[in-house]
Chain A
Amino acid sequence: MSCPVTIRIQEDDFDIAREIAVLTKSRTDIGAVVSFSGICRADDDSAKVAALTLEHYPGMAEEEIRRHADEAVSRWPLNGVTVIHRVGRFMPGQNIVLVLTASQHRQAAFQAAEFLMDYLKTSAPFWKKEESATGTGWVEAHARDDEAAARWTKS
């Protein structure tokens, strides 16, 4: 059973339907595709966000996502993984990240997608800068994201 892994970091938007079509093209062994999209949100904890700028570490970002995608493939019976992370400046409502996981049955696809997103947030080298009416500042990391990632290492 082959499991193609596609990882892209790009400024351009992505088309979820197209990416799912690419992942499932000419395959009859896939019974489930889970899709997670992360979208730029206007309402944060305090002020209204006018825009977000995403910075990344070229080279390491791709490698770090690849390491976790490979781990997901070794942990769950997957038939395909696509991770697309955008960089640049985004307005509320715009796409930031896409994770697709394909498997024979839904459980593996759901779990692998959650695993990938938890690690994407805590260990892939990306940083968000927020613009709001009160000024511009770097987004602080949340302890809840570290806790979410840590549960995958518990026995």
Chain B
Amino acid sequence: MRVKYFAWVRERVGKAEETIEPPATVRTIEELIAWLSGRSEAYAYAFEKPKVIRAAIDHAHVKSDAAIAGAREIAFFPPMTGG
């Protein structure tokens, strides 16, 4: 699946997007955040406060318990500040 990062999540991770293949045991957004955090210090820093992080699956906002099965594109970003 493709993963995208925005704003300070992107800056901390050090990339705007990538393709990942998490193990089958990673089923939800919350579990994906935990799995990503274990990849390197950069990811751990980006996701150090998982409750602050917002997520979207295929362009729709989702909660942290949302299932990631079948997702084409997952995005992680801070609370929005547009307008």
Residues of A that sit less than 8 Å from B by CB? 38, 54-57, 59-61, 63-64, 85, 96-97, 117, 120-129, 138-141
Give the one of B75, B77, B82, B83 with max A CB within 10 A. B82
Q: Which of B22-63 contact A (CB under 8 A)?
A: 56, 59-61
Tell me the smallest distance from the CB of A153 to a CB of chain B, in Å. 14
- 10 nearest CB pairs, A to B: A126-B82, A141-B79, A127-B7, A121-B83, A60-B59, A120-B83, A139-B81, A128-B81, A138-B8, A63-B59
With a CB–CB cut-off of 8 A, which chain A residues contact B4? Answer: 57
Which chain B residue shows the least CB distance to A116? B83
Report the separation of the CA atoms of residues A64 and B77 in the bound assembly, to the nearest whole angstrom. Answer: 15
Q: A57-B4, A127-B6, A138-B8 are in contact. Are A122 and B80 (CB under 8 A)?
A: yes
With a CB–CB cut-off of 8 A, which chain B residues contact A56? Answer: 82
| Chain B interface bracket (under 10, 10 to 19, 20 to 34, 35 or more) | 10 to 19
Question: In the complex the two chains form, is B82's CB within 8 Å of A128's CB?
Answer: yes
Q: A117-B83, A127-B7 are in contact. Are A141 and B59 (CB under 8 A)?
A: no
Residues of B that sit less than 8 Å from A by CB? 4, 6-8, 56, 59-61, 75, 77-83
Report the separation of the CA atoms of residues A60 and B82 in the bound assembly, to the nearest whole angstrom. Answer: 13
With a CB–CB cut-off of 8 A, which chain A residues contact B78? Answer: 127, 138, 141
Question: In the complex the two chains form, is B81's CB within 8 Å of A57's CB?
Answer: no
Question: In the complex the two chains form, is A60's CB within 8 Å of B56's CB?
Answer: yes
Question: In the complex the two chains form, is A124's CB within 8 Å of B83's CB?
Answer: yes
Tell me the smallest distance from the CB of B29 to a CB of chain A, in Å. 15
Tell me the smallest distance from the CB of B7 to a CB of chain A, in Å. 4
With a CB–CB cut-off of 8 A, which chain A residues contact B60? Answer: 60, 63
Which chain B residue shows the least CB distance to A63? B59
Question: In the complex the two chains form, is B7's CB within 8 Å of A55's CB?
Answer: yes
With a CB–CB cut-off of 8 A, which chain A residues contact B8? Answer: 138
Report the separation of the CA atoms of residues A117 and B78 in the bound assembly, to the nearest whole angstrom. Answer: 19
Which chain A residue shows the least CB distance to B6? A57
